Amino acid sequence: MSAECSSYLNADKVLVSGFSCPRTGGDARAVYCCGFQDVKYCCDDPHSFFPYEHSYMWWLSVGALVGLSIAAVVLFAFIITVCVLCYLFISTKPRSKLDTGLSLQMA
């Protein structure tokens, strides 16, 4: 079984000629043509998208999760602080009205 990868223009706009999979000297299991319209390669899984390991994506995901976690904690602390300050403002207000010194009743 083999597949044909048609010619394509790479990201640098250079024409790459078509080739057959598996390539000579390459992995004999790589019988499918995979990739995108600007990069094509032979692979052993027709649903493969990248010819390299995805470990860097895992670290990007961990970094994004750490950043989002820190942002969530800061936001949560801000909301708690605002709620506590509002409660203290409301609870420390004087309950009785101020005496203006003027009597509104007739003598």
Q: What is the pTM of this model?
A: 0.43
Residue 107 lies in a domain: no
- Fill in the amino acid letter for 3: A
Residue 82 lies in a domain: yes
pLDDT band of 82, cuts 50, 70, 90: very high
One domain, residues 37 and 56: no
pLDDT band of 77, cuts 50, 70, 90: very high
Structure tokens at 24: 């000579």
One domain, residues 57 and 85: yes
Cα 101 from Cα 14, distance rounded (Å): 91
Distances (CA, A) of 73 to 29, 60, 78, 79: 48, 20, 9, 10
Tens of pLDDT, residues 20-36: 988 888 888 888 888 88
Residue 11 lies in a domain: yes
One domain, residues 37 and 59: no
Domain count for the chain: 2
